[in-house]
Amino acid sequence: MAEENLTDIKEFILLGFSDVPNLRGLLFGIFVIIYVSILAGNGLIIIITKFNPALQTPMYFFLGNFSFLEICYTSVTLPRMLTDIWTQRKNISLATCAIQLGFFLILGGTECFLLAVMAYDRYVAICKPLYYPLIMNYKLCVQLVIGSWITAIPVQAGLTYQIFSLPFCGSNKLNHVFCDAPPLVKLTCGHNAFNEFPVYANAALFGMFPFLLILVSYLKIINKLPSAMGRQKAFSTCSSHLMVVALFFGSGMISYLLPKSKKSSRIDKILSLIYSTVTPVFNPLIYSLRNKDVILALKKYILNQDYRIFFFYI
C-alpha cells in the first residue's frame, strides 16, 4: 500500500497568497516597496560603513557584512515571490525548489552566527574596553565573518539533500510562500516525526545555540555593570542589536521548533515573512534610528551627494 501511495512529484505548486486573490495588486506593490527598501537601506549601510572614516570599527564592520547578508538573504525568496504574485504562475520544479531552500538555509544559518558574533563584539567592547582593540583586531573580525559563512554551508547543504532524498507522496501543493523546510517535510512520506527530526536538530544547532551565545554575552554584560546607570547605557548601545535578534530568532524558532499541531499554515506563512522579510527591511531603520554615529554618517553622506548634484548642474 505504501508503494502505491507514492507519487512521482516533479514540481510543487506554491499556494502562497492564493487564498486572497483580490489582494494580488496590493500584495505585489507592498513587496516591491519592501524589496526596494531592503536593497536601498542595507546598501546605504554598506556604503557608509565601508567608506566613512568614523565607522571603521569592528562593530560597523560586522554591521556592513550583516547588511550585505540581508540583501542576499531576501534576494533568494522575494524576487520569486514577486514573479509568482504578478504572473500567477505558481509551479516550481524540484531542482529549483531545492536550490532555493539550500541558499535560504545557508544564508539563514550564517545570519544566526553573525548575530552571535555581533553580540560577542558588544561584550568585549563593554566588559573589556582596554583590551578591545587587541582582541577584536581586523584579522579576528575577518575570521569570525568567514567562519559564520563557512560553518553553515556543509550542514545546510546536507539538510537540503536529506529533505529532497525523502519520497514525496500525495499532493504536490506546497502551502507556503517559498520553499522552506517545515512545509516541505509535511509533504514527505513515511514516519513524520522521523522526517522532522533533522529539521528540529538543525534549528537547535543554528537557532538555539547562537541564541544561547547571545544570551550569555548579554548576561555577562549585565553582571559586569551592576549599577542601573551602567546597565541603561549598555542597553542603549546594544538595543539595536537586541531588536534585530528578537525579531529574527523569535519568529524563526517558533516556526521551526513549535510542533506542527500547534500552528496553522497561515501562521507559518506570517512567521516566515517576519524572519525572511520584516527583519531585513527593519535592520537599516533600527540601526539608523538607534545609533548616533550612523545618523551622523548618513547626514554627511546625503549632504555630500547634494553638493555633488548642485555642482554638477552648475
* Three-class secondary structure assignment of 229-295: HHHHHHHHHHHHHHHHHHHHHHHHHHHHHCCHHHCCHHHHHHHHHHHHHHHHHHHHHHHHHCCHHHH
Listed as own residue / partner, the contacts of 242-246 with beta carbons closer than 8 Å and 24 or more positions apart are 242/218, 243/282, 243/286, 243/290, 244/115, 244/279, 244/282, 244/283, 244/286, 245/115, 245/119, 245/211, 245/214
Q: What is the C-alpha separation between 108 and 88, in angstroms, rounded?
A: 27
Can you read off the three cell numbers belonging to residue 2? 505504501
Place of cell 554618517: 297
Q: Kindly report the pTM of this predicted structure.
A: 0.85
Domain positions in the chain are 11-295
Can you read off the three cell numbers belonging to residue 1? 500500500
How deeply is 258 buried, as exposed, middle or buried, from its count of CB atoms within 10 A (0-12, 13-18, 19+)? middle
Q: What is the C-alpha separation between 165 and 173, in angstroms, rounded?
A: 18
**What pLDDT shows up at residue 6?**
47
Q: Which portions of the chain are predicted below pLDDT 50? A: 1-6, 306-314
Query: Which CA distances in Å does 291 have to 24, 34, 54, 55, 273?
Result: 37, 22, 13, 11, 26
Q: What is the C-alpha separation between 95 and 267, in angstroms, rounded?
A: 27
Q: What is the C-alpha separation between 285 and 299, in angstroms, rounded?
A: 14
**What pLDDT shows up at residue 3?**
44
Class of domain 11-295: mainly alpha
User: Mean pLDDT score of the chain, rounded to an integer?
Assistant: 82
Place of cell 548575530: 115
Specify whether the CB–CB gap between 112 and 244 falls below 8 A.
no
Can you read off the three cell numbers belonging to residue 147? 567562519
Within 13 Å of residue 164, how many CA atoms lie on the same side as its CB? 20
Q: What is the C-alpha separation between 295 and 192, in angstroms, rounded?
A: 50
**What pLDDT shows up at residue 260?**
65
DSSP 8-state secondary structure symbol assigned to residue 55: G
Can you read off the three cell numbers belonging to residue 174? 506546497
Q: How much is the CA Rg of the chain, to the nearest whole Å?
A: 22
**What pLDDT shows up at residue 29?**
93
**What pLDDT shows up at residue 256?**
82
**What pLDDT shows up at residue 224?**
76
3-state class (DSSP) for residue 33: helix
**What pLDDT shows up at residue 313?**
45
**What pLDDT shows up at residue 102?**
95
Q: What is the C-alpha separation between 163 and 168, in angstroms, rounded?
A: 10
Query: Which CA distances in Å does 66 have to 84, 89, 116, 173, 280?
Result: 28, 32, 11, 34, 10
**What pLDDT shows up at residue 301?**
61
